[in-house]
Each structure stands twice: as structure tokens, then as C-alpha cells.
Amino acid sequence: MHLFVFSPLSASARTHLYQQLPTNVEATFCSDLPVDQQFSAFQEAEVLLGNPPAAWLTAGTPPLLRFWQIDSAGFERYRHVRLPIPVANMGDFFAWPCAETMVGGLLALYRHLPELAVLQSQKKWVGGAHVRNRAGLLRGKRVVILGAGAIGLAVRQQLTGFECWVQLLARTHPEAALRSKEDLKAALPDTDIVINCLPGSAEGFFSADLVAAMRPGSIYASVGRGNTTDEPALLKLLQAGYLGGAVLDVTAIEPLPADSPLWTLPNVLLTQHTGGGQALEDESKVDVLLRNLELLRTGQPLENLVELSRGY
């Protein structure tokens, strides 16, 4: 069996893959090939790991391809790809770290940790009252989570420890209290925190009218995809001091341009799309692939199957 690895695995993850790979599977790494040979090698794949250009797949499915393991949670760039084979993503692999990033960012804003970190770097002691009298609490906040996928549910679980009152927004999830933009708009004036966990297929969902409906002093956090937020509308209200702040793991353009005002706003915490990061991340992705390879070999149901056209 020929495995084509598009993922840019670390050296240690490559070693891990080679140590665990069944003897009948031969791996080819895209990054080891000259650019002009990469697509032709891809066309020989029976199993694919990683996220190649969508054009490679729309140009014609590799004739021997049996299974594709996407190495991310999101895959909106492939919504128009049609494949007659099973496709899986990483499931809830990134959910808990993404949720911790959001919760950690919210705590940092409420407790003024970024400001204190700057003061520490300057060796500047300003006295307790300077921060103490402005510090807020995450405890008991009213939260709306956009999306009820693995990340959204992990955020909700973590917030229970802070006694937050949490509502989910999702079209079909049985536990969602909010089902539409109209429901959300009605809830926003009484909401302290909005946490966006939407996939890229929900482009433009958190539109300017929803941004404007947020409660004064409330906080916006996003770990989904940058294209789901009207960033200019959000930026305008952050600059005006109408919103209390933002925790942004994702932005509309990445890397964020150097001239973006988001870099310098004191009420914005940028985590630079690191939300899903974790120790041994590449090795763990290899383990997800290996489990599915064994399930494929034995004819059992595969893990984390997705429908490309639906975006999840």
C-alpha cells in the first residue's frame, strides 16, 4: 500500500511513523520530492495524509486512492471536492487545547495579565490598586458559544467550573438554545461573552449587525475561522472602547498584516492560531492515521468520518 504524506511532519514524527507503519505500507513524503514531481507521486497514492491543494483533487482523484486522512479539524477549502472514498478529519483532537486557549485568554483579559506581563518586562511595579480596582471575574458570566462541535462543547465543559451560564448556538444540536441569527441577535444584549467556534463554511456569520448588538463592555473570542467574523465591524467597536475586549486565535488574514490595528489595541489578545497546539502534536496526528489504517485493513468503521460538501 502506498501512503502519500503531504503533512509537514517533524523529524521525530517521521521516525514515529516509520516505527509503527505496517510492513506492507510504503510512505512517500511530499516535502522530499522536487516540486515538479509532487503531483505525479500524489497520483499514485492509495492512502493520503494531510491537506494538499484542492486543485490536486479536482484535477482528478488518484485512481488507487482508498482513504484520505485530513490532518486538521477544519476542511472548508474542500467543500467542492467530490471523492468516492471515505474521508476523515482529526475529530476532537484539537478541541480541548482550543478550549483552554479561549478560557485562558478570557481569564487573561479579565485579570489584566497581558498588562502585568508588560510591566514585568519593564521591571515596573505600579502598585496593587492600579490593577486590582479594574480586575474582573470570569465566574458567573453569561456566555454564548457559536457552534456545538467538539471545540464548542469543550469550551462549555471548561466554563462550568467558573459557574458560567452558557448557551449554545447551533441549527440542529439537541442541546442548543439558539438556532438562528435572529435568536442570537435577541440574546446578545444580555450576553457578557461570545465565543466563536464556527467552521470556515459559516463565512460571514457573525456579521456587522450582530457585532453591533453585543452588550457594551462584553468580550468577543474566536477560535473557529477568521472568515466567520466581520472583522472591520469588530475592530471599529474595539477601537471605540464599546467592547470590553477580544481574544482572537484566528483573523481574516493570516499572518496578520503588520499594519493591522489589532496588534496594538490594549484590549485585544492575539494567540496567532496556536489554539490547537499541544506537545507531540505531529506524533499524535500519526497515531490517528495509524488507527484508521488498521480499521481500514480489518474492514471496520473508520474514526472521524466527514462529508466534504457539508463542511463537517
The answer to whether 30 touches 50, Cβ cutoff 8 Å, is yes
Helix (H, G, I), strand (E, B) or coil at 222: strand
One domain for residues 131 and 265? yes
Q: What is the pLDDT of residue 112?
A: 96
Out of 16, 156, 215, 225, which one is annotated catalytic?
Answer: 225
What letter represents residue 253's amino acid? I
In terms of C-beta density within 10 A (0-12 exposed, 13-18 middle, 19 or more buried), how is residue 73 classed?
buried
Cell 512517500 locates to 28
8 Å CB contact between 241 and 293? no
Give pLDDT, residue 310: 84
**How confident is the model at residue 28, as a pLDDT?**
98
Record the cell numbers describing residue 261, joined without a space.
490595528
In sequence order, the 6+-apart residues with CB closer than 8 A to the CB of 236 are none
> Based on the domain organization, do 187 and 58 belong to the same domain?
no
> 18-43, pLDDT tens digit by residue?
999 999 999 999 999 999 999 999 99
Active site residue 14: no
Band (pLDDT 50/70/90 cuts) for residue 312 is confident
Q: Are residues 150 and 87 in the same domain?
A: no
| Share of residues in the chain with pLDDT > 70 (%) | 100
What CA–CA distance (Å, rounded) separates 273 from 213?
A: 26
Domain extent, residue 37, equals 2-93+278-298
CATH number for the domain spanning 81: value is 3.40.50.720
Query: Taking the C-alpha atoms of 106, 143, 128 and 124 in order, what is their torsion angle to the nearest 10 degrees?
Result: 20
For residue 143, how many other CB atoms are within 10 A of its CB?
23
Domain assignment present for residue 219? The answer is yes
Residue 138 sits in the same domain as residue 33: no
Catalytic pick among 82, 254, 294, 297: 254
Averaged confidence pLDDT in the chain: 96
Asked if residue 167 has pLDDT above 90, the reply is yes
Q: How many Å apart are CA 237 and CA 157, to the nearest integer? A: 29
Q: How many CA atoms lie within 13 A of 277 on its CB side?
A: 7
In this structure, of 124-133, 135-144, 172-181, 201-210, the range with the lowest mean pLDDT score is 124-133
Phi and psi of 89, rounded to 5°? -110, -165
Distances (CA, A) of 13 to 2, 91, 92, 272, 303: 18, 19, 20, 23, 21
pLDDT at position 126: 87
Residue 263 has pLDDT above 90, yes or no: yes
Arithmetic mean of pLDDT, 74-87: 94
Q: Is 225 a catalytic residue?
A: yes
Model confidence band, residue 308 (pLDDT cutoffs 50, 70, 90): very high
In a domain, 79, yes or no: yes
User: Residue 66 catalytic?
Assistant: no
Residues 129 and 240 in one domain: yes
Our count of domains for the chain comes to 2
Which member of 16, 156, 215, 273 is catalytic? 273
Residue closest to 78 by CA, chosen among 312, 309, 257, 285: 309
Does 149 fall in a domain?
yes
The predicted pLDDT at position 168 comes to 98
Q: Using the predicted structure, report yes or no on whether residue 128 has a pLDDT greater than 80.
A: no
Residue 198 clears pLDDT 90, i.e. is over it: yes
Residues 104 and 251 in one domain: yes
